[in-house]
Each structure stands twice: as structure tokens, then as C-alpha cells.
Amino acid sequence: MKMKKVLAAALAAAMTMSMAACGSASGSSAATSADGASASGAAFKLGGSGPLTGDAAVYGTAVKNAIELAVSEINAEGKVQFEVNFQDDQATGEAATSAYNTLIDWGMQISTATVTSGAGQAVSELYANDNIFAISPSGSSTAVIFRDAENAADPYGNIFQMCFTDPNQGSASALYLSEHPDLGSKIAIIYRNDDNYSTGIRNNFVDKAKEIGLNVVYEGTFTNGASDFSVQIKQANEAGADICFLPIYYQPASLVLAEAAKQGYTPTFFGCDGMDGILAQEGFDTALAEGLYMLTPYSADATDEATQHFTNAYKEKYGDTPNQFAADAYDAVNAIAQAIEAEGLTPDASQDDITAGLIKQFTSMTFDGITGTSVSWNENGEVTKDPKAIVIKDGAYVSAE
């Protein structure tokens, strides 16, 4: 781990604070305590950003809601206390940088980083330079936690992930399909070739597929903004693919499913955590997603006490069923609280001590949450936990196990 960041933080923070003062925010969200009251000043300042507007708003809104729910419960216990400031970064690097500057000006001490990988990659170096501990609920690209996504020996050191990394999702998906031959034997892959999330999962899936002998018969690509998937579906069908792997977000996936129905193509569709949210997409016919599988660490229909508590509390507070992004955000905040309490940190500690203490705990503790039990992190910030498969039946997510 690059612990020199801890030693050099004061100088780095001063330099970046000077730069941050020039920034402006978009989509500001006022700093509040758990119950929406004015910030008291006797709490850790927990910042974060995500898309609250635009196409990916379903992700950012879910994360923001879950963070506020977790904080309200933690603050009510009377031990660790948080103030929250969550900014709209529109899932873009430029807006994420502006949001980060606003959070720094506010006095952010700890962060849930960003919701999406592209935004996270844009601000990761800023978090490193200011020596602020950050854990992203759902920024799954390795570029979020590594200076160079191709260089696994050079992590930032103070940036962690609550979600699976893209490579892990790719290999886990391949292994799941190999262990469930009843889903099909010939695989088509449709992925977005200008997106870190999609290409990261695709690349690792293909490598693992070769290793374990899966039969990939077709690959089709697209770029941001694509709306016509007729060629990809036609070619996947002609290749005889009875599994269609979609390592993409739910918006383009909804178009893929619609085109498949139009052409009468009925493979087993299989996605990853970016697929979560498809049932809530405005104007989407949920019948098109019937039978869709995805790997995710959370299923709202799980019967364990912790999951049911979270799911019911979220529904009661926000009138909606939480998705996997919300679940990971809820766990991220609770993991931070566990680490703070175990290390005995206080809000008046120096930034260096807060970050060093959180890194110490996260690289040594285990955490039991709703997205996994005995969850752990390595020194690179990567999480270890078991994925779960869910399938859409009768317009709802249910366990596939």
C-alpha cells in the first residue's frame, strides 16, 4: 500500500484545497444530520456524489437514500455520529470534480466516493491527494481504486470498493454459467466498447470462459448513445447463441431486450449489477425482462433478518423497493461506522489520523452486512464477498438459488 500518501497528506491537502476553492457545484445537497436537522458540528462529515439527474439517476437516488437511511439508524444509536452531504455529479467526470470541490469546501472528512465508475476515475486522484478515505458503493471499475487500471501494483491506497470489481464480476459470471449448464451452452456477448464498466467485465469474462471451456459464439459491441441493436441481435441469433451475456447498464439492456422480442430471439439473458434498476425504468415493459438473470450481492426477497430490516425500512421511508446499489451503499456506511468505533476515532481528529485509522481497520476487519457476511478488503481496496444470482419472475427480482 502506498502509505506515503498518509505521511505527505498535509502538503497534498493544502495544495488541493487551494485548487478546490475555485470549483462550483451542480445539484447541491445541503449538509444534514440523520433526521434532516441542521448539522451540529459534533459529527464526522460524510460526503459523496452520484447522479441525481439524468439517465443514471435511479442509481444515484438509491445510493443517496440508503446512505441517509443508514446514517439515521447509526446516529440514533448515539455512538458514531455523521453529517451527510451528497452532491449530484450527473455521472460525468466534470460534474464529479465540481461536486468534489464543493464537498472539500464543506469540510468532508470521509466519503462514499462516487456511484459510477467514470465519475470515480475522474476524482480518485483528488481523494488521494487530499488523503480522504473513500469507499464507493458501486464504482466497480479498477480505475476507481488504481492510478492505472492496467497496473495492479499501484493502488491509490485510501480508496476502497463495497461492490465487486469489474474483473471479479466477469469471472464470477463465467463460473456461474459453467455451473448451470441448463441455462444454455452457446454464449453471445453484447457490450459497450467505450465504457470501463462494460469492457472490464467483458474482458475478464472472455478470459475465464477460455480457461474453463465455455463456448462464446458471438460478440457484438456498441458505443454510448446507441439505440439500434437489430444487427447485434440478428447475428447473435444466427450464431445459435442460447445465452446472451449483457455486461452493460440497464438502459441499453432494455433496448436489447425489446429488439430481441421484436425478432423472436429468446435466449437466457444474463447480466451483472448494472442491470439492477431495469424494472424501475420509466416506460419499460417489464414483461420483456422476464427470465433475466443477473449476479448481484443483494436480493430484496431474501429472508434473513438483516436484509428484511433494510428492505422494509427503505420501503417505508422512500416508498420503493431498494436495488443492489442501495444495499451496497447501506453496507458501506455501516462498515465505516464499524471501523470508526473499533479504532476509537473522533470527529476532531486530524485528517491523517482519520484516514490512517480507517485504512487500518478496513484492511484487517471483517464485516457482516446485507450484501455479504465475513466481508473483507485487501490493501488495494478490493472487496471479497460472495455474489448471488437473482432472476426476474412475474415482474420482481427473486433468488435464483
pLDDT at residue 150 in the model: 62
Place of cell 473513500: 134
3-state secondary structure of 365: coil
pLDDT at residue 211 in the model: 97
- Which amino acid would we find at residue 260? A
pLDDT at 21 over 50: no
Residues facing 220 on adjacent strands: 190
Report pLDDT digits (tens) over 208-225: 999 999 999 999 999 999
Written as one string, the DSSP assignment of 237-271 is HHTT-SEEEE-S-HHHHHHHHHHHHHHT---EEEE
pLDDT at 75 over 60: yes
Closest CA to 290 of 193, 374, 396, 376: 396
Sign of CA dihedral 256, 289, 274, 317: positive
Confidence of residue 22 (pLDDT cuts 50, 70, 90): very low
pLDDT at 350 over 60: yes
How many angstroms separate the CA atoms of 326 and 372, rounded?
Answer: 14
- Phi, psi (degrees; rounded to nearest 5) at 83: -110, 145
How many angstroms separate the CA atoms of 139 and 394, rounded?
Answer: 30
Average pLDDT, integer, range 317-325: 92
pLDDT at 401 over 80: no
Closest CA to 383 of 360, 361, 355, 362: 362
Paired sense of beta strands 268-271 and 293-296, if any: parallel
3-state secondary structure of 189: strand
Report pLDDT digits (tens) over 256-270: 999 999 999 999 999
H/E run at residue 135: strand 133-136
Please give the grid coordinates belonging to residue 300.
430484496
- Phi, psi (degrees; rounded to nearest 5) at 33: -85, -170
CA angle 297, 53, 47 (to 5 degrees): 65
Domains defined along the chain, listed by start = 4-164+305-385 (3.40.50.2300), 167-296 (3.40.50.2300)
pLDDT at 400 over 90: no
The answer to whether the beta carbons of residues 330 and 66 sit under 8 Å apart is yes
Confidence of residue 41 (pLDDT cuts 50, 70, 90): low
Closest CA to 266 of 297, 286, 290: 290
Q: Which residue has the higher pLDDT, 148 or 30?
A: 148
Confidence of residue 149 (pLDDT cuts 50, 70, 90): low
Average pLDDT, integer, range 164-168: 80
Q: Which residue has the higher pLDDT, 323 or 317?
A: 317
3-state secondary structure of 3: coil
What does the mean pLDDT of the chain come to? Answer: 88
H helices of 284-370, where? 305-318, 324-343, 351-362
- Which amino acid would we find at residue 177? L
Predicted TM-score (pTM) of the model is: 0.75
pLDDT at residue 18 in the model: 32
Residues of the chain above pLDDT 90, percent: 73
Average pLDDT, integer, range 387-399: 86
pLDDT at residue 68 in the model: 98
pLDDT at 100 over 80: yes
Average pLDDT, integer, range 119-143: 95
pLDDT at 2 over 60: no
